[in-house]
Amino acid sequence: MTDPAQTAVEEPVPPSAHPGLTTAQVAERVSRGEVNDVPVRSSRSTTEIIRANVFTRFNAIIGVLFLIILIVGPIQDGLFGFVIVANTAIGIIQELRAKKTLDSLAVIGESRPTVRRDGRAAAIPTGEIVLGDTIELGPGDKCVVDGEILEADGLEIDESLLTGEADPVLKHPGDKVMSGSFVVAGGGAFTATKVGREAYAAQLAEEASRFTLVHSELRTGISQILKYVTWMMVPTAIGLIVSQLVVQNHDWREAVRRVVGGIVPMVPEGLVLLTSVAFAIGVIRLGRKQCLVQELPAIEGLARVDVVCLDKTGTLTEGGMDVTELRPLDGAEEPYVRQVLGAIGQSDPRPNASLQAIIDAYPAPDGWHSTNALPFSSARKYSGAALGGPDGEESTWLLGAPDVLLPDGDASLAEIDDLNAQGLRVLLLARTERALDDPRAAQGVRPAALVILEQRLRPDAGDTLAYFAEQNVAAKVISGDNAVSVGAVAGKLGMSGAERPVDARRLPSERDEMAAVLEDGAVFGRVSPQQKRDMVAALQSRGHTVAMTGDGVNDVLALKDADIGVSMGSGSEATRAVAQIVLLNNSFATLPSVVAEGRRVIGNITRVATLFLTKTVYSVLLAILVVCSQVPYPFLPRHLTLLSTLTIGVPAFFLALAPNKERAKPHFVRRVMRYSVPAGVIAGAATFAAYLLARHYYTGPGALDAETSVATLTLFIVSMWVLAIIARPYTWWRIGLVLAMGAGFLIVLITPWLQTFFALKLVGTTMPWAAVAIAAIASAVLEVVWRWVGRRFPV
């Protein structure tokens, strides 16, 4: 059954316009395969998800070792294989859940260009466009296929995302248009000449909307860590194999089991899994709040942001406006001014929010018609129309920013400043004697009236700004509106620094000087689209991680260049295409949730990575010590499976998904290694010391099992202390988690059949208590070293 929300609303095409293809022509082109079939998707395919989780380097290593254990037995030494299968299944299920969430949100946020067919215009999915379709264009629309202009009404297209050329290009009928460009002003229509993969920048459009796992410091860091681990594993494993199979004289099956027991814990097999799960669950949580994450690292990136640049309109204020007052100037009569405003509104087929408010207040008058129109441009700050009145009088009018249309020192500017200081938006209606396409059209105009608009504040904007202030994230309001007006709006929301707004026309152009002003100020008005881009670059040059929010076409360039681009769901098609995060509910208040989710992922993965790498370090150290000492490896695979499950696997799963509000910090690899290396060395050294002591104490049959039990007890206690440190700061559930893991090990020690199953039995009291003492000393040393490292090597 068709979703009513997705049903296209058809509108008749004016008789003078191109009617587009007929239904029969569309069917013929579809049958020939001339369809825009570029596979735009928001997430990895099911096949890719399964492949990425199953066919990994470490799963291959673990799989081979598992097969070896199945041959030599017993099955309890192969428990690690079943754990890997369970972990992989969990990873696949969570990513498939995330895929389902993303795909459903992508349908909601999908662009639907307006296409003319059978003389009627209707919005259709991008993938249903066929060769020869007539596609309408308006401000903010993205060109989804290549084509040729059929109609142009002041049509200006920005091709900077393709060519790097910053200035918009004025298009005329017959001109070419490329996919990936977008409309900044005016309107028109074009016919599709290349669709699907033949279209220029088709790959750009695909990549802009694809769910991706690249460019993430977290994932790059984990890959780097895994590379280090591989380098350590290979020579150590070879040495262990030689030591246990050649030097030792015990049964070859026992030797194989102990070799496997030495290699398996070197593999941080759950680290990649938990990272994927943490990200996937983050996507699901944000999806429930109508937040579409178009690029996965955006969750991580926004958590690292220390400056967020906000566009006022659509972010701090709602899109709609209301006309509150009309003030005629220089003797103009109000009824006449109302008619002019109504006629100007009628001349623009795609009005912006300001003009829509004027249209709502002043309906189109009888007898007026437009002979020419100049669409609004954020670079010009005004629009215009050439009108014919009922008496045959021809006149040309401009409507836009008073401080742009009026010369400095004009008497009206003081009155306008007072209105702006109240947070009101003011437009000037003025008559010009020059043609609309004259570059000097705004010079020497005759003011006719001030149109005073009231902006609707978002009820949640104040709380969101307060959240960023509490989190030490600097907020910068960057708007094309009057600086005083923007400052008044920000002041109403309680924003610090709003009382000192800066007019961007007076900003220095040199990057360092601009950055200094930006760091000091909080509110900037009269910012051009190119300036927004320059301001983002200036902040980044000072080492800031910058997020940019916006919904208008004037925000596209800045959104593209910012570290994280955030678009409103109701924003232009172009802004949604370049943003990494789309707030489908148009709520600025969703941003704190995205920040919190990113901090949870980064902070928690740093915690669990330390656990996993500690295990790798002590495993490698134990293997080296065993090779050098020419003694049997102290553990069977079942012992380390038990230890890994209780001190790493289960706790890491809960810790990875726990709330975490700690601000994200850089240098992920250094932060993990500075703790895991000393912790692993201490744990490995203490365990080997207890093992050697037990080898000298126990003699006769069963001595090897007794020695292994002592080593296992020592390693468990030290590993539990590592877990206790990682779990800080303590909450009731974290304390409960640590105690539950300790209780699990105790149950194994006191339950006869579990003792047999895991080959764990503490013999006597002397060595068990000696193991406890060694572990206690190691834990105390670990605590001291941990605190010293934190103070000596802060990151």
Please report how many Cα atoms fall inside a 13 Å half-sphere around the Cα of residue 773, on the Cβ side.
7
| Average pLDDT of span 685-689 | 95
| Average pLDDT of span 116-143 | 87
pLDDT digits 0-9 by tens, 518-540: 999 999 988 888 888 899 999 99
337 near 358, Cβ under 8 Å? no
| Average pLDDT of span 158-173 | 72
| Average pLDDT of span 728-738 | 91
pLDDT score of 793 more than 70: no
Percent of the chain with pLDDT over 70: 91
pLDDT of residue 3: 41
pLDDT of residue 9: 53
- E strands, 159-296, where? 169-170, 176-177, 182-194, 291-293
| Average pLDDT of span 168-193 | 86
pLDDT score of 571 more than 80: no
pLDDT of residue 214: 36
| Average pLDDT of span 283-294 | 82
pLDDT of residue 770: 94
Which residue is listed with tokens 């800080």? 728
Other CB atoms within 10 Å distance of the CB of residue 569: 18
CB neighbour class for 184 (10 Å; exposed up to 12, middle 13-18, buried from 19): buried
Other CB atoms within 10 Å distance of the CB of residue 325: 12
pLDDT digits 0-9 by tens, 78-110: 777 777 787 788 778 877 877 777 777 666 656
Cis, peptide link before residue 363, omega less than 30° from 0? no
- E strands, 167-244, where? 169-170, 176-177, 182-194
**Of all helices (H) and strands (E), which one includes residue 699?**
none
Among 265-279, 462-476, 742-756, name the one with the lowest average pLDDT.
Answer: 265-279
**Of all helices (H) and strands (E), which one includes residue 116?**
strand 114-117
Residue partners of 354: CB distance under 8 A and separation at least 6: 321, 425, 427, 453
pLDDT score of 348 more than 50: yes
Q: Name the average pLDDT for the chain.
A: 83
Which residues are designated catalytic? 311
Spatial separation of the C-alpha atoms in residues 377 and 139, rounded to whole Å: 9
pLDDT of residue 4: 38
pLDDT digits 0-9 by tens, 34-74: 888 765 455 567 888 888 788 877 788 778 888 888 887 77
| Average pLDDT of span 674-702 | 91
| Average pLDDT of span 709-720 | 95
- What's this model's pTM, rounded to 2 decimal places? 0.70
pLDDT of residue 212: 40
Among 14-18, 287-291, 405-409, 618-622, name the one with the lowest average pLDDT.
Answer: 14-18
Other CB atoms within 10 Å distance of the CB of residue 374: 26
Domains identified in the chain and CATH numbers: 1-208 (2.70.150.10), 213-283+595-792 (1.20.1110.10), 291-316+458-586 (3.40.50.1000), 320-456 (3.40.1110.10)
pLDDT digits 0-9 by tens, 188-238: 899 999 888 777 655 544 444 443 433 567 777 877 877 787 788 788 878
| Average pLDDT of span 239-250 | 69
Among 123-132, 372-381, 523-532, 764-773, name the one with the lowest average pLDDT.
Answer: 372-381
Structure tokens at 323: 């006309």
- E strands, 241-334, where? 291-293, 307-310, 317-328
Comparing 741 with 558, which gets the higher pLDDT?
Answer: 741
pLDDT score of 783 more than 50: yes
Spatial separation of the C-alpha atoms in residues 31 and 247, rounded to whole Å: 73
Question: Three-state SS across 145-166?
Answer: CEEEEEEEEEEEEECHHHHCCC
